[in-house]
Structure 1
Amino acid sequence: MNSTQSPVYRTSVEQKRHAQEVAKRQRMGNQMPRLREMLREKYRKRIIETRNRCTDAQREIQLSELREILRLELSELEKDVELEELILEELLSDVNEWYALGEKNLETLYAEPDEQQKEVLCPVCQIKNLRHHKGAFICECGIRFEHSANMEQLQILLQQQIASHELQCTQALRFFIEPASGQLYDMCGSCDYFSSV
């Protein structure tokens, strides 16, 4: 049977695909593993480059945010420094006022007896004046002590105590009320001077 027509083969689609893959493998042969390695290397490089670009972009964003935060912090710090300087000036003026008041009080406490003073400065707080009430001396600072002297005599006694101490020491006397007896005492921490008024 000779026929002029080409023979018809009954092959399925799966058989054709299989045949194409076999032919492709034979053509590629030993080159296939090298091609895979080349493709892997290319993709690996692309992934690394993309990752680096993303990381650099994130760094740029983070750096710009960090710069902005630093600018804000510096501006707030400058405001804080200005505020701190104002507070320091106020505190220094308060300290100067307190120092001037303390000096004034010390001057009145250490005044000479020939200067006539109608009021006696409290020897304990050295700020307020003493009041004499029914044999007791009272100050607004809260101290109270009893003494037989009147105001003028108490002032003279205090000045005598201070003068006798100044002959031996340059430090200021400290006056205090002894809680058990309610009497006025004076002492010096540097020369161990101790006496009752």
Structure 2
Amino acid sequence: MMMVDSFTKLFLVAVCLSTFSFGSLEALTRWYCFCSNAATLTGNIVYAANVDQLFSYLSTNATEHDGFFNTTAGQEPNMVYGLFLCRGDARPEICRDCINLAAADVVKLCPNQSWAIIWYNKSMLRYSNRSIFSSMAERPNVTLSYWVDAMEPYRFNRLVATVMKDIATRAPNATSRTKKFATKEATFNAFQTLQPSTVHTRHFQ
């Protein structure tokens, strides 16, 4: 997942690091988690309580709003801002379970932190003590590399570029009240197929 400007977010497939099973539904995989580290909030029970309340709001809304929701909890100076984004092909109950798992994990992985962001194969959850709505954020980020030998690399790269351009155009231009989600599979040759590429865009207000 990469965060871009206030109009669009791209939710991209990444590498799996560890696997979790949540209930009897699909396996949920945690990819990455970043914490504020320097800005700890040890002893700030008001902010900690607001974080808990925020997670409750996010969980309650995880089966609604087409897989995206943002909200706040508490009052300044201890207000907490948060949001979640689920993959466009994730069923509502999978989105809910992923957000619940993310909320439980981020408390363990980032205790007493002023902000954190955690990615899974089906969702992303983020919270902060500063407003994160309708603003550009390039950090934190992750660069992923996947090395595979391809015959005719120049033609392969052109095919990848064409596929990604097509779905990046189709996703945000989908009809209203949709999840702005698109996938595409392309044939490279008789023996190789470019597996489904995924783009998920979301307008943040």
TM-score bracket, normalised by the shorter chain, equals under 0.3
Higher relative contact order (CA 8 A, sep 6+): 2
| TM-score normalised by structure 1 residue count | 0.21
Which structure's residues are more often helix, by fraction? 1
| TM-score normalised by structure 2 residue count | 0.21
Which structure's residues are more often strand, by fraction? 2
Q: Which has the larger radius of gyration?
A: 1
